[in-house]
Chain A
Amino acid sequence: MTPLELRLQALGHELEVPPAPDLTAGVLEQLSLSGTRPFAWRRTAVLALALVVIAVAAAFAVPQARTAILRFFHIGGATVIRVDTLPPAVERKDAGGLGTPLSRAEADRQLGFRLALPRFTGDGPRRVYVIADSVGTVVVRWHGRRVLLSEFPSFGATSLKKLAVNATIVDPVEVNGRAGLWLQGGPPHTLTYFDRQFGFRETTVVIRGNVLLWVRGRLTLRLEGKLTRRQAIALAQTIR
């Protein structure tokens, strides 16, 4: 070491540094409250890849769609596949099919991540609907319309698959500088949840509104409702 480097090293020992506080209690309290286990990135990345493969396989499994996959979009934890024919799907009524209604705190705990929400007046949503510990959904009102906001890990063990026919517009958009997809018009499209709690069981529901999908951090966010593209993006930009 040069004389200057030795002086700098000595200076480090002469700095006024407060004694380190005991952090163990605070760390354990935070971890216990959140109930979070280490996130198995590699395992879930492999699962996510497997799910994409399954999504393609499932689409091909619909006989009419076997030769009719026209285009394939992937964003975060969601996959959009254009097909000629939609598979049989159930109608979703009100909150049915959105999962178990929970308090915000309980939902955050089960999901293992904190929901990003628009600026609500008051205390925010009273209920969060949770599917398979992975997809959290809240109902928000925007421009007088009821809109569903769903969030799920981009690389988690759960993934969403959308099948849309050719008449549905699927356009790339930008939300806060991040890539997104806008689905609008045409006949209803379908949404399939892959359920990690019960293996790869699929639940397919009919979606009649427009949908905005985008990625924020390690989450994929999804807005569904009768909003215009401009209204949906404006709402998405308020989500923090």
Chain B
Amino acid sequence: MVDRPLEETELVERARRGDLRAWETIVCTHQGIAFRTAYVLTGSAADAEEAAQDGFVKAYRALGRFRRGASFRPWLLRIVANEAHNRRRSAARRERLSLRAAAEARPGDAVPSPEAALLARENQEHLLAAVERLSDDHRDAITCRFFLDLTEDETAAALRVRRGTVKSRLSRALERLREELEGEL
């Protein structure tokens, strides 16, 4: 586990010197989280693909500005999130996120009753609808922090705000969600 940051540091350093093979490895490593970030911010697979791809191109060109020793992923996600926000603004609307179809239970799994499973799904759909009704700022904070499992620092970097702003947005968004879901939690 100790080797990975060193390896990435070396790859970034090589890419900074113009080594496209090193950049290819970085794209392979981070394209999953980059696409997912862009997708939950835009709600569109096509926009997310464009935003993630352009994000990697712009990040490569901006490598000279990347501070040596800093964490690479938040810096990259910041650029990708910015591309996603630009596309969301130009589309003037954002597609709603949805839940995937319920997975089939594997043999041997403890399965809830059909009624309990239905209720759990309804609750999650209710929660998702409540998240969708939040303001853009609050929804983006919830999305990055919980849907993408980013740390507060990474969320701050992706949204180009201070960590304190992330904390206050999360606090207000959670309060709003609690109000909406009162009696259900």
User: Which residues of A pack against B, CB within 8 Å?
Assistant: 2-5, 7-12, 14-18, 20-24, 26-28, 30-32, 36-44
Contact = CB atoms under 8 A, between A and B. Distances in A.
Per DSSP, chain B at the interface is helix
A16 B147 contact: no
B56 A27 contact: yes
Given A24-B24, A38-B16, A30 B64 contact: no
A37 B146 CA distance: 36
A15 B23 CA distance: 29
Contacts of A20: 31-32, 34-36, 52
Nearest to A40: B64
B33 to A, nearest CB: 9
Interface of B: 15-18, 20, 23-24, 27-28, 31-32, 34-36, 39-40, 45, 48-49, 52-53, 56-57, 60-65, 97-101, 123-124, 127-128, 131, 142, 146-149, 174, 177-178, 181, 185
Contacts, number: 121
A15 B147 contact: yes
A27 B49 CA distance: 11
B185 A3 contact: yes
A172 B142 CA distance: 45
A41 to B, nearest CB: 4
Nearest to B181: A4
Contact of A9 (B28, B35, B149): B149
A219 B182 CA distance: 53
Contacts of B62: 38-39, 41
B128 A11 contact: yes
Contacts of B17: 38
